[in-house]
Amino acid sequence: MSLPVLASEVIEKSIWYPTILGILVVVFALLLFAGSLYLLLSTNLGSRLGFLIAFTAFMGFMVILSSLWIVTASPLNTLKGRIPAWKAVEVTKNLAKAKTEEVRNIEAEGRKVDTIEASNVKASADENLIAVEALPSEAQVTQQAFARFQAVTEYKVLNTYEIGGSNPNPLDFEVTHTPKLAVIEFCEVIDTSTLVDENGQPLVPFGVAPPAPECKEGSDKSGFIVLKRDLGSLRVPAIVAWISSILLFGLGLLLLHWREKDERAAKQQTEPTEDGATPVPANA
């Protein structure tokens, strides 16, 4: 085991490690990268001109880097926002009385999804229906308002429906989309591991595959879970960084242009004319 890995296991997690320490590492790495270039330029061109050149070059580098962040297929280790995911909205016993009006007639107006999409939706349903207990090293667990079961084997999915959703085309000036909703019908299953026969022997002997799960009639835990598709904001931070870098890069170029114009005007004022006379500055 390497020393950094061993140290990370020994050091107690706190606001200093890794939060503040990580921020300081980024800040000092930036100062070392950009500051060393500025120090070299300032010794040859002066502090102001050296800063303008170093600042503009760094912003140009950020334009290229943020452009790569935007077009990267999987933006790992970059600025990124929320990934697309299903978010639980409510759990209800009767769809006709659901708070989300769009799903009240989803069984008739919606569409049943295929096996692959149903497994994706169920993964999000598991996160909300299954109660999560805190590990000894964790301080607390996020509140789960829709948790009803202790394990995924305690319930089964009967049907999965979807409704809504759209693919807006920005070229057609379509900037909004229709929300996509999903409904999972689930039920609590009978725990066959506790069932015994007349002789007190378990109905399912040890080592034998259990029978197919069956719904428990009249269970209060059965119902419908409504989920809404969150499109996320995966590339929004990269786009914001790209726009900011372009503006700052343009500002740096503009300042360098203004400085060059001022130096050219000052040089013309100090150069002698054709008759050998030195022009007098306008503010003299």
Of 46-50, 54-58, 126-130, 174-178, the one with minimum mean pLDDT is 174-178
CA distance 142 to 127: 11
CA 32 to chain centre: 29
Q: What stretches of the chain show up as alpha helix (H) in DSSP? A: 3-10, 19-45, 47-71, 106-109, 115-129, 236-270
CA distance 253 to 67: 19
- What is the predicted pLDDT for the residue at 187? 94
Q: Give me the long-range contacts of 128-137 (CB less than 8 A, separation at least 24).
A: 128/88, 128/225, 129/91, 129/155, 129/186, 129/225
- What is the predicted pLDDT for the residue at 2? 56
Q: Is the per-residue pLDDT at 284 higher than 50? A: no
CA distances for 84 relative to 67, 154, 202, angstroms = 21, 28, 45
Contact between residue 140 and residue 134 where contact means Cβ atoms under 8 Å apart: yes
Give pTM, 2 decimals: 0.71
Q: Is the per-residue pLDDT at 40 higher than 60? A: yes
Percent of the residues in the chain that have a pLDDT greater than 70, as a whole number: 79
What residue type is 83 in one-letter code?
Answer: I
Contact between residue 226 and residue 96 where contact means Cβ atoms under 8 Å apart: no
270-283 pLDDT tens trace:
877 666 555 555 54
**Tell me, what DSSP letter sits at residue 206?**
T
**What rounded mean pLDDT belongs to the chain?**
83
Of 96 and 139, which is predicted with more confidence? 96
> CB atoms < 10 A from the CB of 192, how many?
14
99-134 pLDDT tens trace:
999 999 999 999 999 988 899 999 999 999 998 776
Q: Which residue is associated with the tokens 């009249």?
A: 218
CA distance 51 to 268: 25
